[in-house]
Structure formats: C-alpha cells, structure tokens
Structure 1
Amino acid sequence: MKKVLFLVVMGTIGLSQPKEKMNINGYVLDKESGEAMPYANVLVKNSPWGTTTNSDGYFALDGIPKGKISLMVTYIGYETKTETLTALQIEDGPFTIHISPRVLQGEAVEVIGESYEIFQPSEVPGQMTISTRDIQTLPSIGEVDIFNSLKLLPGISGVGDGKSGIYVRGGTPDQNLVILDGMTVYHVDHFFGMFSAFNADAVKDVQVYKGGFPAKYGGRLSSVLELTGKRGGTERGFSLGGNLLSGNMSYQTPLFGGLGNWIVTGRRSYTDILQSSTYGNIFKFVTGTDANPNSQSNFQGPGRGGFSGGAFQQDVIPSFYYYDINSKLSLNPTGRDLFSLSFYTGRDFLDKSRELDFSGFGGGRTRGGTEFETRVDENVSDWGNIGASFKWGHQWDLMYTNLLFSGSQFNSIFERNLTVNGTNVGGGNSEGGARGFGAFAQNEYNTVNDHAIHLDNRLPIGNNNDVEFGLLLNSINTDYKANVRDSISIMDISSTSDIGALYIQDNWKITEKLDFTLGWRSTYFSQTDKFYNAPRISFGLNLLSNLRLKGAWGHYYQFINSITNENVLQGSEEFWLSSNENLLPGFAEHSLLGISYDTGNYLFEVEGYYKELENLVEFSRRFKDNADYNNYFFFGEGTAKGLEFLAQKKRGKMTGWVSYTLGQVINTFPNLNDGEPFYANHDRNHELKLVGSYKLGKDWTLSSTYMFASGNPYTAPMNQYSLTMLNDQSLGYIHVGEKNGFRLPEYNRLDVSISRKWESDYGVLEGGISLYNMLNNKNISYRDYDLDVTPIIASDVNMLGFTPTIFVNFKLR
C-alpha cells in the first residue's frame, strides 16, 4: 500500500511540474522582394498565443511550451504561411519566415486562411490595415492613391473639399497624426484632395487608428495614420508609370553585398501644362463646357445662395501642379541591427487667378464707385512638406528597441492681388488684408519646424503580456505672418514649444477569450509648464469563435493646431499655430464600442463612437469685440458621435464592401453665434460607400466605387449695404446669416475602372482605364462670394467633373 501511495504522489508531482518554456523570435519578409513585412500577424497554431511584427518585420514570443510548433503568418494581400519549427531551430534563432503575395489564378483557387482585399479590420477597435498593393485596382484619376483609398473606409470622410487632409470620425484634418517612417507630415494631399501626398510605390504598410489609439501615440485628438516606407528589395528594379495627369518613377537596388538597400521614387503632375490643351479638350468633350474659367460667366438674379440682389455667377477651375520625392536607405550589418535613413519632400502650386470681362454686361463698378470693364484677381498659393528621419533598430534578445531622430518642415505662401482696369485696388473694409480680413492685396506665410527624438521598446513577458514603453523629446516652432499691401502687418505670431513624453502599455491576454490593453502617457508641455496625463484602455471579448465584442476609452491631448479661418467671402483656409498659455492644448475623450461577426467569407461589423472635445479654436474677423484672444480667436467645445456599419465580402472573384456612417459634429462657442450650438464645418450626417472589385480571369480586374454624402454646412452673406458718413466717405457693411446655417448640395460620385496585367521575362506591364465621376455630377467644393463689386459675384468652386484617364506602369524584372 505504501508503495502504491508513493508512486501516486510522485506521479502527481511529476505531472504538476511546469513544462519547460522557450522563446521565439524572428523576422517576416516578402519572399519575392525581400522587404520586411511590418505589422504581420504571427500565431502559434492550435494555441491562444500570438503577436504582430513591428515596423521592421521583427516579432518575439515568450514563455511558449518547449517543443515542435507551427507558426501561422498572415498579412493582407499575401498568402497565409504555416512554418513548422523544432525546438532546436528555434534555439538557433532569430529565424526568417518568407511569405508570398497572393495571386488569383482564376476560378480554381484554393483559399487558405484569411484573404482580405484592400483593407483588413483589426481585433482592436478602430484599427485597420491598408494594402498598398491591392489599392492599385481601384478607380482614380489615374494614380494609385493611398488617402483617396482611405476615404472609402467607414468613418473616414470620402468627400474631398479642396482643403487639407481627411476627416476621421468627426475630427478635423489637423487632429490626425500622420507619420511616415517616424517623421510627422503636416499636409497630406495634393490639389483639392484629389491626390495623396504619398506615392504608393514608396509605401509598404499603412496602419489606421480611427480612435482609441494606444499610448505609444500622442499629440493628436482624432486618429493616427502610420505609414512605413519600403526598404527596397534584394534585386535591382526600375519602374515607370504615367497617366493623363501625372507621371512617376521608382528605382531600387541592393547595396553592400546584400547588407543594404536603397529605393527612390518620384512623381510630378503636368496638369499645369495640359490643362489648356489635352485636359481642356477632355473637360469640354465630356461636360460640354470650356475648362477656361473666363468663358464661364453669367448673371444670376436674386436669391442665390442666401443673399438678396443680383449676382455675377462664375465657375472656377483652378490650375495646379505638384511633385513629391521619397528616398530610403537601409543597412542591416549584423542581423540584429537595422539602420535606415528616410527622406520625403512634396510641394503643391495652386493658381486660382481669374480675369473677368464685364463689357458684355454694361460694365461693373466697385463699392467705391469706380467703373471698370476688366477685373483681374491674382490668387496664387504654394505649400509643402520636407522631412527626414534616421532610425536605429536593435534586437537585444526578446526586447526590440528603436531609436529615431526626425525633422519635418511645413511651409505655405498665399498671395492675392486685385486690379481693376490695370490699377491695384483694395477692398472696402479698412481692417486689413489677411484671409478674411476684407481687403484683397495681401501676403500670408506659415511655417512649422518639428524636430523629435523617439525611443520605443517592446518586450514580451511570458505568453500573456506584451509590454511597450518609450519616450519622446520634441521641439516645435510655428511662425505665422499676414500682411496687406506688402508692408502693413496684420498678424505676426511666433512660438517655440518643447515637449517631453513618457508612455507604457501592456497588451494583456487574460484568458483565451478576453484581452485588455492598459496604457498611460504623460506629456510635459513647456508653454503651459504642465504635465498632461492620458490613461488609455481597450478590450476584446470573443463571445463566440466568430463573434467579438470590442471597446476602447482614453484621454488625448494636442499641442499644435491648424487654425481654420472662417471667411464668408471665399473658401476657408488654414494656418498652423502652436498651443500656448492663451491657445490652450486641445483635449478629447474617446469612447468606442463595437461588435464584429466573421464567417470567413463575410465580415459584418458595427462600431459606435462618442468624443467630447475641449479647447477648440475658431478664427473669425467677425464679432472681434467679443473674441476670446487677440481680436480674432474664439474658444469652445464640441461633441462628435456616430454609428458605422460595414458589410465586407473578403473572398472569391467578387470582393468589396458596403459601409454607412451616421454622424454628427456640433460645436459650442460662448462668443460665437450668440452662444448657440452650431454644426461644425465638416459635419456630414450621412455617408454611404459601395466598393466592388471583380476578377475577370487571371489578368483583368473590373472595379467600381460609389459615394453619397450630405452637403457641408457653410455661412452665407445675406445682403450688403453702405452708409455715407459726414465727410462723404462711404462705408460698406455685410449682413451675415446664422453660422453654418446653410448646406451645400449633396455629394454624389460614381467611379469605374478596368485594368489588366501582362507579365513576361522582361518585366510586368499594368495598364487600364479609369472613369472618374462617371455620371458627371457637379459637386461643389465651396461657395465663393465677392462683395467688392456690383453686381455681387458668387462663384461655385467645383470639384472635377467626368474625367476619363488612362494609366500605364511598367516594372523591369
């Protein structure tokens, strides 16, 4: 009996002994190009353990039971790869797993694992991954465009309005943190939002956080868009591409016997050259009107756009061009160290000048009584970014460290000058000449210099905790100047801010079904000499194997703002200013809750969001006696709330999605609009988006997108009048309606494209036809009022009408 008890006790002790653990680390690379695969999913099959690679393609798992395992790697647009490894192979790590781009070979395709097209929602609320490889099949103006593709996603506004950036869940463009290889980019699109400032040929991965983003990121209130640039492949390559509006090229080559890589890409539009010939002929052919704005003039009677009295109506088609250049040099000398040097520059040139001939309408006159037949309005802007970053990534053991130095500059120049019969004139308001100040002859300059040091670390602890921690040292200088008649200074604001931040977060897998991410970010801001603490939390709960509940909550602060100038005479403009003791840092509280149901072939998802916003800034020349600061700045608060619905078909020859967003953004400023709440400039109640892509055999792809959105609110002048003073001087006054009391018409746009790929031993040729705004809907960017003359000029500045384009790209093998 004693022997039996002894054997039972010893057996029990043996069974209770913990299994020997092992650590797993390695890299995920593209099999064809050798590129690192950032943010790929790495899972241990038949277990609850998994992780994602970092921006360098590195992953690590700690505390995995020792023995033979199978790792499954997934990445959007790539075949799922399963790699079986022995304990001995793992101990010799780090090892490399290669994954191959997915190729559709027709109907007889065996689909293994996930097969997302274009974008992949995350298990984390509000997060998505975008495939820069797959977006090339979507309709466009001819250019593969990252940010226009983002506008097709739920919760991201799909209406380009001629201003900078995108609108995420009721946020403004300046509330998005846009990062390219660690450098902050302040202006993210080209002309009228039609083109992204980022060349898709230079970008490997796009991570989108629509809200509730983790503690690693800070300095913005709305969202994070992190772009990782390509490093260049293991083989030399060259590609050329072009369409009716722009051309592009890229070159990549290995260096130092395969220890390094270099890639450079460039784009330039030639619309400034073709608008008067090829582009003008296309526009006239498809719309029946001339692309020359001077020929589109007519007189409108009373009641146009909210004002009384007749108006001289004119459509304006601006002239523009842009360019951008990307370069990245990478070096991996030891297998544990990665050095990279990235460079980016991009610039826009926009000319909205126009010349009006009133001779056919009996002439015109200014409010001062000067009669004229010709009126020239010179209106020229150019703006752009330039930046660079240097990064050292080091694998210690399980922990991975990235040390990054970055510098970024944004600057813009705006100049406007009005002449009548060849003589320079000013407006009838003596208050000044910056945007919206009244007179026209003006100059305006804005510069942002941003220098930063980032230290980011990631360390798995056991198989249930993945800890990230780091710091940021940041210096931001902003400078804004506005002059009238070249010499009279209206506004001159300069500011330098020093920012220091520490963060830590733990991705904690509590059970197989429940996971939490707990984070904390603390930021010191020199202008207010205060610390700003921002707790963050998110969770995911698998209710069933394919049904997941997820949510997030957090505090967010912003220390630099793009000030939107309210101007009822022309479209709003923006300039960047750093926060200070008067322009307090912005604050937002995010609350998110969603549920997703994934059948494998289909994904259904609903997410709701609610954001409370404080220390918002409005800039207006009206009611300056009531301004909160410096005559023109008003402070207030707001709320943004909405529901997003998504149905996505992920697999097969036909893929795509339908999304609908119901949203509302309301602001309240005590000293604006009599303290009554009003709709934000970017408020859109409804947005419907349909995206479809159909594979026609092996090489052909037919794609289509459709967008519907409510019109933007705007403020309109109701009427104007003048008073004659005792000295016989005439002063003009404008009566303005309720703030954002009017709305532009609804936005509708249908795009269609068909593309084909040809492959040979020499290279890959891709080409196609894209039909932008196929139904030729006249969508208005903004309404421009000129009250310096009689009759009043009201101009609808339109977005592009029906624009067919042909695109071709050739890549040498």
Structure 2
Amino acid sequence: MKLSFRELLILLPLFFFASSTFGQGEKKSIPLKRILDTIAVQHQVKFSYAENDVFGHSIYPPQAEIPLRAKLVYISNRTGLNYKELGEYIVIYKAKQREVKNFCAYVTDETGMPIENASVQVNDAKNIVTGADGYFELNTTLPEKIIIGHIGYEAVTVPIADFTGDCLNIVLRFDVMQLDEVITERFLTTGISKKKDGSFTIEPKKFGILPGVTEPDVLLAMQQLPGIMSVDETVSNINVRGGTHDQNLFMWNGIRLFQTGHFFGLISAINPNIAYDIKIVRNGSSAFYGESVSSAVDISSHSADVEDGQTTIGSNMINADFYTKIKLNEKSGIELSARRSFTDLLDFPTYDKYSQRIFQNTVVTQLQNSTDINYRGDKEFYFYDFTAQYHRKIADKHELFIHLIGINNKLDFTQGTVTETNTITSISNLDQQTFGASAEFNSQWSETHSTKFGIYSSYYNVDGTSQSFETGTVTTQENKIKDSGFRFSDSNQLTSLFTLHSGYQFNQTEIDNIDISDSPALDRSVNQVLRAHAFIGELEHNPETEKIYARAGLRINYLEQLKTIYIEPRLQFNYIIDHAWQAELLAERKSQTTSQVVELQNDFLGIEKRRWVLANDIDVPVQRSSQVSVGISYRDKGWLVSIDNFYKKVNGITTYSQSFQNQLEQIEAKGSYRVFGSEFLIQRQFKNFYTWLSYSWNDNRYRFDDVQPEKFSNNYEISHAVNTAAIYEWNNFKIAIGSRWFTGRPTTDPLLNVPVYDNEGNPSIFYEYPNTDNLSDFFQVNFSASYLWHITPKVRAQFGLSVLNIFNRSNILNRYYRINAAEDIERVNTYALERTPNALIRINF
C-alpha cells in the first residue's frame, strides 16, 4: 500500500507515539466482521473473505495497541480460521486442516510504545530484529530461550515455554545511568528552553527560526509547544490544553494585558524586537500568578545591568518598526520601541490575505461568500504599538524600573451606493486599544535576602459603532476595563537547601459594558468592580548537587465584593534520574474572576465579538481549575524525547463564554469541562541540522446540567495534533520548513435541512445534539528563511522570508448555520489563511 507524504506525516506519530485511539472499551463478544472492519481502519488494510466463513464467529476484540499480525494470530487462535497476507489485502479463509502458527511476539517499552530494531538473539549463530511495530516471528526450530535487547533498555531473557499460542508482549525497561544536567536547552529552536520547574522560557535575542516565523514573536512561537495551539490560527485565541484564550494570564512587566493581538489576532501585539525574556507555564505555576485557570505568560524586559546602547529599524510587508536602547550613564538607561502598520497606505499581498481571513463573515464582507461587498466605498485599517522603559540603579542594592505600553487597532468602514435620487452612505468603525504603566523597586539586601515592590495600572477599551446600510440604524458598543494594584514579594534563603518566598498582592478590576441603539431603542450600561487580596507563601528546595528540585506554594485569594476565600495550592517537582533522564510532577489549583463572553455574533462588527465581564457568582461564576501532570524526558547525544500526561478540570464556565453558534448560542447555563491527554515531543540534532515532531492527544468534554445532553465534546477539543519541522543553520543562514496537522474541531449540523416555525411563524433551525460532528482535518505546510549580513563590526543587516500555507490548502476553521432572507438554511464556513508570503529587512547598529 502506497502512502502519500501527508498520510505518512499523519500516521507516523500516531502509529508510534499516540495514545490508543481505538480502546478496547467493550467487555463482550463482538461479531468477527465488525472486528475486521475496525482493524482495517486502524491499520489501513483491506480484508477479503467469504461471508459464510466469518458468519457466526463472535469473540472478544484484540487490544487496539498490539501489532496487526499479533491481532491476526489472536483471531486465528479463537476462530480456527487461517489468514494469508497478499500485498494490502489480507485473506481470511477456512481450511480443512489448521495451519501451525509460528512463535510470535512484539516488543514495547514501559509506556507501551513499540521498540523498533530491538535485537532478538535466537542462538549463537542467528539474530533478528523487530519491525517498526515491535513485532517478530520465529519460523525455525525453537530454542529454549531468546534474549531481547536494545540500546537504552535492559536486556531480557524469555523462555519459549511461556508461549501459549497468542503473540507475547515483551516489555523492555529503561536502562538507568548516572546524571548531571537539569535544564533542557534548545527546545524546538535556539532561544527556547525548558526549565526544571516545568516552565518554558523564550529569549528573543537568542531566537533561531521556526517554520513560518522569521521574527521572535512570542505568541506565535509558543504555539509550537506541545499542548498549545490556536483553533482559529490567531494570537487572540490561544488554547492551552483545551482552554479558552481568556483563561490565560498575559503579563508584560507586571501589567496584565487584555489585548494580545494586532489585526484582530493575526499578529502579536508585543513588539518582537524588544530584548526581553518570556516565561510560559502550562501547569504547576508559581503561587505568585493568579487570575487564570489555564496558562501564564510572563513577559519581562528587565536586564541585570545597564547595557550599552543599540538601535534596530526594520520593516516587513505589514508594518515598520524601531527599537533603541540608550545608556544615559553607568547607572541608568532607557529603552524605546514603536511599530506601525502601513496598511492604510499600501496593500501588499500579505495584507490582502490577512484582510480576507479576518474580515470574512463580518459586516465588512458578504456573509455567504466572504468577498468584499460591491457597494463598499472604503475600508481603512491600521495598528500601532509602543513601549518605553527606564532603568535606574540606586547604590549597590537597589534598582528602579518604570514601564509604559500602548497598543491600538483601528478600522474605519464606509459603505455607499448611488440611487436614482440620491447617494446613500453608512459609516462604521472599531477601535481597540490598551494603555498600561508599571513601576518596580527591587532590593538585594544580602546574598540570601531580596524584596520586590511594584505598582501597575492598565486600561483596555474596545469601542464599535455600526451603521446599517439598509436601515440606517446606528448601534454603539463599548467594553472598557480599568485594572490596577500593587504587589510585594520577599525571598529569603533559609539554608543551603531551602528558600522561602512570600508576598501580598492587591488588585482592583473595573469593567464597563455599554450598548446603545436607536432601533430598537436600547440604552444599557453595566458597571462592575471587584477587589481582590492575595496572600502568598512558597518553599523552594533547590540544592546544587542533589537530584531533587521541589517548590510547594499556597495562594489564598479573598474577593471583597463576593466575600469569598479561595485556597490554591501549587506544586513543582523534578527528579533527575540519571545524566539523560528526568521526571516531573506538576499540580495546581487556580481561579479567575474575569472572562470573555459572546452575547451576539454581530457585536463589534462581528470582528471582536467577545467582551470582558466580571464574576458575580450569580449568572457569571468564579472559574476554578484543578490540574495535575506527570512527565518524563530524555536528552542525550543529540536526542530529546519528552512525554507529558495531564488531567485538568475547570468549573464555573458559562455557555456564553464558549462561543456557541448552535442551539446553545442564546441559552444561559453554567457548567464545567474536563480534559485529559498526552503530549509527546521527539527532537534530533546533527551539528547544524535539527528536526522535531510533536504530537498531542486530548479528550475534552463539557458538562452543563441544564442542557440536554449534559455531557458532550468541547468546542475547543482538538483530539489529535501533529507539528513537524526541519531546520538548518549554517553560519548566518537559517532555513526552516514544517507542517501542522490537527483533527477538525467539533461542530453541530441541523437535523433538518429546512427551518421549523413557531406559533407566530418565526423560523428557526432544529439542530442535532451539540458537537456530534467534526470539521475536516487541518493541514498546512510553512516555510521561512533568514540571512544575517555583517556589514561592519557594528552594523548588521537581516533579511527574512516566510510563506504560510505553501500548498494553498483550503482549511475550514469554523462552521455555523443561519437562516437567510429567503428563509433557507445556509451553511457559513470560516476559512484559514490562504498562501501568505511575507518578507523582512532589518538593520541593527
């Protein structure tokens, strides 16, 4: 059977590393014909048989994870039928005489994964090796025993007397050796590393290259990590282990960011050229992080010293930017950055592709075909951002940091047409902006004692005005957040083994939601305020020479308005097994009081339709999560292999926060979701070339007690996801090509293809049960390359090129149904980016 490149790419990780998709869930006999159909799907083979031969045979199904030929032996032993392999066909037949089966076995590791090329010593003169599925047979005179071994595993001796007819499962245990290393450097690419507390760090100034990414964009780079992705390919909808975007905490120098994207999600709102460090935590976060039930992304531009000045200016096909660092004196310095798009002046192909992607199925385009409406007069869009930092060292023990940040997206949209009597126009606009400031004072009182004190404030506002072209109705909407507070932390090394971290945080969040319409008349204004106090304590065990790293913390949250206390334990544990192996255990409980909801799909022009709200423990509960994960990793001789298994439960979600576009869209219900899964990564480095493959599997299900059925698949469930990359670096030249594949997200289809009508004659759609179907699989191949030219010892030029979706595959990201003006049911698809090129030029001096 021939496999295409795409099929091979998909099947390889699933065959070797994925958790079993087809479990042996049934505990009763099943007709043989059904079992053969299941095996045919699992192994992509075809069975040929006479109906009379298989009729009447019912057996327990073989385990899904065992190799194909082991399953054939299993079936033959229980039915008396014989089999013969003929290419891609397997013939099942009834013979007059039962054929004698050879000794067979399959070799796996302790996690159940097959071991390829394991050595099977039959006698002094003959050795054989296992296949890709770990399977082997002996068709010679059987010895008394055989010896199986493989590099990295302990050899085992198996007596042939143990053979009972079915294929044996021979398990090899990992070989244990002595160790030194703790931190995994170069995780996926240069500048990304995994720390012993389970977190990931990204250093943009050391950043290498990733497929489709030429700049160190943190929010795009983090989506390459196992378990982190975006179901709609935006940085404003990042899903970590099945969670929603608003369940992640994004912080920039102590300022919480409620807006993370430009172009309404296609570009990161953080300038990628600032010299900063990013910490990404999927689980086991420090007790100093609150207000999230999923991940935490902490971005810091702090430097230990006042560094020498430097400047960089650059441009791609969307925006131009600059960054400068100025050393005022030996004790102080400032850093400035700014970026602005020129999309309101120039239309490069990159902008055209981005525009088609983000404005489809909104008021800016026709809903049925996502093309610009023929009576559009003008569509003007641009964005900008800026940052500023002041760093001052005070004496030898203290330092002061002051930060400013601003982010803005602005869209003006004019529709117009000429009738026989006059000209009709309508004007709509959308403005999304963030401004923030913070100050931090750090003191190093001694080698073992330090403190930090910081204050911060941020302002977020999305303001949309929509004027109906047909009726002239004007609707104004606003979602405004004021977030401010202060935090104090103390770190005291008690002994050479233990350090105590403690602190206090105060936060006040105020959210306003405003809706004004002239037809029908509507004037709604909702103001919410919530103050929170957090008391924090952590004990860290971090000896330099021992094998165990551990950090246990406790966060106690008190919410003033709700008069509620939440106790949140946190745990990070890392055990160094030997020089190559280490294991980790991470656990946490967290809560958050802010969330994003979708009330109407056309809110804010249908582009940024989510709005932030505060918990009130009535219709919007406080969200609470519990998560635990266990992982093991191996790093030696250019190999990096890691696997993590996790379980997460989140309570307090609402149907409005999950972006339903089916029968639950206007249903108000509270519930929860639970997700468990596995994440696998294998990476190999050969001098200047390295490649990696990651695979994620999860089972993600809702529970809403007030809807039917109570349990069903999560809107953000991606059952299987595979990322691959091949990267080559030679001197100053870098090139990367990679692919992304994942199963389609759940969707709900109408049960009837015509509307149903109520007593008043209003049409509606009668749906199947929620999320009983799935979109087509997503597949995309991306490319990037960059070259660094040293013009002089102090001046460097960087050139970059990237292409997203090289093969221009049409991928569906979302689907919903609506009733059109003719009262027919229409299907509306949202498509991913088409082939999108981008180019970069940058000068550093």
Shared fold (TM-score greater than 0.5)?
Answer: yes
Equivalent AA in structure 1 for residue 651 of structure 2: E
* Aligned counterparts, 1:582-621, within 5 A: 582=618, 583-619=620-656
1:408 aligns with 2:481: no
Secondary structure in structure 2 of the residue aligned to 1:273: coil
Question: 1:346 and 2:382 equivalent?
Answer: no
* Rounded Cα–Cα distance in structure 2 between residues aligned with 1:540 and 1:336: 32
Change (3 A) 1:254 1:312: closer
CA distance in 1, matches of 2:761, 2:496: 79
Q: Show CA shifts across 1:751-794 (max 9, x none).
A: 11221111113511101221122111223343465534226665
Residue 386 (1) aligns with residue 435 (2): yes
Which of residues 744, 747, 764 is equivalent to 2:775? 744
> Retained in 2: the 8 A contact 1:621–1:632?
no
1:417 maps to a residue whose letter is Q
Q: 1:533 aligns with which of 557, 563, 567?
A: 567
Report 1:255-654 matches (<5 A): 255=328, 257-275=329-347, 312-315=368-371, 320-350=381-411, 380-397=429-446, 398-420=448-470, 423-424=471-472, 442-485=475-518, 488-489=521-522, 491-509=524-542, 512-565=546-599, 567=601, 573-582=609-618, 583-619=620-656, 633-649=668-684, 652-654=687-689
Please state how far the C-alpha of 1:545 moved relative to its aligned partner.
2.7
What displacement does 1:452 show?
1.2
CA distance in 2, matches of 1:622, 1:76: 38
- Tell me whether 1:754 sits opposite 2:766 in the alignment: no
- Corresponding position of 2:218: 146
List alignment gaps of at least 5 residues for structure 2.
1-179, 374-378
- Is 1:168 aligned with 2:217? no
Cα offset, 1:699, TM superposition:
1.6
The structural deviation recorded for 1:555 is: 1.4
1:663 aligns with 2:712: no
Given that 1:571 and 1:782 are in contact with CA atoms closer than 8 Å, whether structure 2 keeps it comes out as no
Shift of 1:809: 0.4
Match of 2:739 in 1: 706
Paired position in structure 1 for 2:721: 687
| Partner SS state of residue 544, structure 1 | coil
CA 1:143–1:512: 2 relative to 1, 3 Å: closer
Tell me which residue corresponds to 2:277: 205
Contact 2:491 2:499 in 1 (8 A): yes
For the residues of structure 1 that align with 2:742 and 2:659, how far apart are their CA atoms? 30
Amino acid at match of 1:174: D
> What are the ranges of 5 or more consecutive residues in structure 1 without an aligned counterpart?
1-70, 78-113, 299-310, 360-373, 426-440
Q: Deviations over 1:556-600 (max 9, x none)?
A: 111111224474997883111111231221111111101111115
2:191/2:208 contact within 8 Å kept: no
- Counterpart amino acid of 1:653? N
Aligned mates of 1:213, 1:292 — CA distance in 2: 37
2:277 matches 1:245: no
* Offset at residue 272 of structure 1 (A): 3.5
Q: Report the Cα offset of residue 279 of structure 1.
A: 5.1
Question: Number of residues paired by the alignment?
Answer: 646
The residue type equivalent to 1:424 in the other structure is G
Distance change >3 Å, CA 713–CA 226, structure 1 → 2 = same
CA contact under 8 A between 2:235 and 2:267: conserved in structure 1?
no
Q: Distance in 1 between matches of 2:769 and 2:608?
A: 17
Query: What SS does the corresponding residue of 1:332 show, helix, strand or coil?
Result: strand
Alignment partners' CA distance in 2, 1:219 and 1:621: 18
Contact 1:560 1:576 in 2 (8 A): yes
Shift of 1:159: 4.2
1:736 CA drift (Å)? 4.0
1:235 is the counterpart of 2:269: no
Task: Give the equivalent residue in structure 2 for 1:60.
Answer: none
Partner SS, residue 238 of structure 2: coil
> Paired residue for 1:66?
none
TM-score (norm 1): 0.72
Alpha-carbon deviation of 1:680? Answer: 2.1
Q: Look up the equivalent residue of 2:746 and give its one-letter code.
A: P
Q: 1:279 to 1:708 in 2, by over 3 A?
A: closer
Change (3 A) 1:733 1:170: closer
Q: Aligned pair in 2 of structure 1 residues 716, 641: CA closer, same or farther (>3 Å)?
A: same
1:193 maps to which of 253, 261, 265: 265
Please list the CA deviations of residues 189-239 of structure 1 after superposition, one character each: whole Å capped at 9, or x if unmatched. 223532111112124101110112121211211111111115596333222
* Structure 1 counterpart of 2:801, from 758, 769, 791: 769
Contact persistence 1:453–1:474 (CA under 8 A): yes
CA–CA distance in 2 between the matches of 1:646 and 1:75?
13
What is the match of residue 52 of structure 2? Answer: none
How far has the Cα of 1:800 moved from its partner?
2.3
Residue 133 of structure 1 corresponds to 205
In the alignment, the residues of structure 2 paired with residue 784 and residue 377 of structure 1 have an alpha-carbon distance, to the nearest angstrom, of 27
Q: 1:722 to 1:519 in 2, by over 3 A?
A: closer
Deviation, 1:484, is 3.1
The correspondence of residues 38-49 of structure 1 with structure 2, limited to 5 A, is none
Between the aligned partners of 1:525 and 1:724, the Cα distance in structure 2 is 45
Judged with a 3 Å threshold, the aligned counterparts in structure 2 of structure 1 residues 280 and 194 are, in CA distance, closer, same or farther, namely closer
Cα distance in 1 for partners of 2:352, 2:550 equals 58
Equivalent residues of 1:663, 1:684 under 8 A apart: yes
Q: Does the 8 Å contact 2:183/2:193 carry over to 1?
A: no
Please state whether the residue corresponding to 1:167 is helix, strand or coil.
Answer: strand
Q: 1:76 to 1:325 in 2, by over 3 A?
A: farther
- The structure where strand makes up a greater share of residues is 1
Q: Which residue of 2 aligns with 1:92?
A: none
**For the structure 1 residues 115 and 534, does the alpha-carbon distance in structure 2 shift closer, same or farther, using more than 3 Å as the test?**
closer
Whose relative contact order is higher, 1 or 2, with alpha carbons under 8 Å and at least 6 apart?
A: 1
Bigger Cα displacement from structure 2, 748-757 vs 142-151: 142-151
Counterpart of 1:388 in structure 2: which amino acid?
A: A
CA shift in 2, pair 1:375/1:716, >3 Å: farther
**d(CA) in 2 for partners of 1:165 and 1:132?**
22
Structure 1 residues 238-274: Cα deviation after superposition (integer angstroms, max 9, x where no partner): 221001111111121011x221110111111223333
Offset of residue 546 of structure 1:
1.9
Is the Cα contact below 8 Å between 2:386 and 2:407 reproduced in 1?
Answer: yes
CA contact (8 A) 2:692 2:724 kept: yes
CA distance in 2, matches of 1:213, 1:144: 24
Scaled by the length of structure 2, the TM-score of the pair is 0.69
Q: 1:571–1:783: 8 Å Cα contact kept in structure 2?
A: no
Task: Tell me how far apart the structure 2 counterparts of residues 621 and 325 of structure 1 sit (CA, whole Å).
Answer: 32
The CA deviation at 1:810 is 0.2
Does structure 1 conserve the Cα–Cα contact (< 8 Å) formed by 2:349 and 2:837? no
Greater CA drift, 571-580 or 244-253: 571-580
Asked if structure 1 preserves the Cα contact closer than 8 Å seen for 2:485 and 2:505, the reply is yes
| TM superposition shift of 1:319 | 6.8
Pair 355,587 (structure 1): closer, same or farther in 2 beyond 3 Å: farther
- CA deviation vs aligned residue, 1:663-709 (integer Å, no higher than 9, x gap): 1221111223x14212222211111111232113x121111231112
Matches of 1:634 and 1:540, distance apart in 2? 40
Distance 1:552 1:281 in 2: 44
- State how far apart, in whole Å, the 1-side matches of 2:709 and 2:292 are: 26
Q: Distance in 2 between matches of 1:627 and 1:159?
A: 20
The 5 A counterparts of 1:74-89 are none
The AA in structure 1 aligned to 2:638 is N
User: Would you say the 8 A contact 2:539–2:553 is kept in 1?
Assistant: yes
Deviation, structure 1 residue 122: 2.0
Aligned to 2:250: 178
% identity of equivalent residues = 20
